[in-house]
Amino acid sequence: MYCCDYCNKILHNIPYTCHRCGHEFCSEHQLPKNHKCTGLPEVRNPLLLDEENYKIIRVVKPVPDPLIAYGRRQSSELVEKLGVRNPLLLGVKIFLAEIPYITKGYYDLDKNNCFKFSKDVQDAATKRGIRCGLVIISFHKSLTGHAIVAFETDYGLKFFEPQNANEEDVIVGCRYSASLSGISDDDIIIKYEIIWNDGTNTIIR
């Protein structure tokens, strides 16, 4: 049978043995400060130390956590000039859910077509400081292209249909993941160009 060396309480379980003083204690007195551990070195109040009692070994500069805010990796000059940053994927989905007046509009080939929808989404993203790309997709057989939007997120480059905010796959040499009017289902993507709202362009062939 064990008992605590500080309060003499009988212990029914295995006691905690302090590695500093070697005594056995209950859970309440297991910490060195709770049993007034004799194995602790004397610690003077650092506020009472003068310059003669200590020396600076080294100065450590704080390093920012690289996982904080993915968008901070953007060039500071670019951000200051244009005020847009790469968003988190969750932020993109929240943004698209907040603009139903754009994404839920009716489709019309002449006025409300995929290009206009994409441009409206890009303009709304620019106003909110979100880096957004207008994507022009070219197909092998069809002279008609298709326009969507893209975001460089913490999960990589993501594409979205501007009419319904659905996430789509855009891969050169493959079919487009959604069905499009005027483009046969077996037609493949040969190229896409991303026109970003920060003034840069990306072309993938």
The stretch 64-92 carries a mean pLDDT of: 62
Given a cut of 90, whether residue 196 has pLDDT beyond it is yes
User: Please, which pLDDT band fits residue 186 given cuts at 50, 70 and 90?
Assistant: confident
Question: Domain spans of the chain?
Answer: 1-45, 70-204
Residue-level pLDDT at 43: 45
Domain 70-204 in CATH 3.30.460? The answer is yes
DSSP secondary structure letters along 153-197: ETTEEEEE-TTT--EE---TTSB-SS--TTS-TT-BEEEEEEEET
CATH topology (fold) of 1-45:
Zf-an1 domain (4.10.1110)
Helix or strand (DSSP H, E) at 121: helix 114-127
Given a cut of 70, whether residue 99 has pLDDT beyond it is yes
Side chain identity at residue 78, one-letter code: L
Helix or strand (DSSP H, E) at 25: strand 24-25
144: nearest Cα among 92, 82, 187, 197 = 187
Contacts of 83 (CB under 8 A, 6+ apart): 129
Contacts of 129 (CB under 8 A, 6+ apart): 83, 84, 85
pLDDT digit string (tens) for 70-79? 444 444 444 4
Residue-level pLDDT at 71: 41
Q: 173-199: b or e for each residue (b if 16 or more CB lie within 10 Å)?
A: eebbeeebeebeeebebeebbbbbbbe
The SS3 of residue 137 is strand
pLDDT digit string (tens) for 146-178? 999 999 999 999 999 988 889 999 999 999 988
CA 55 to chain centre: 41
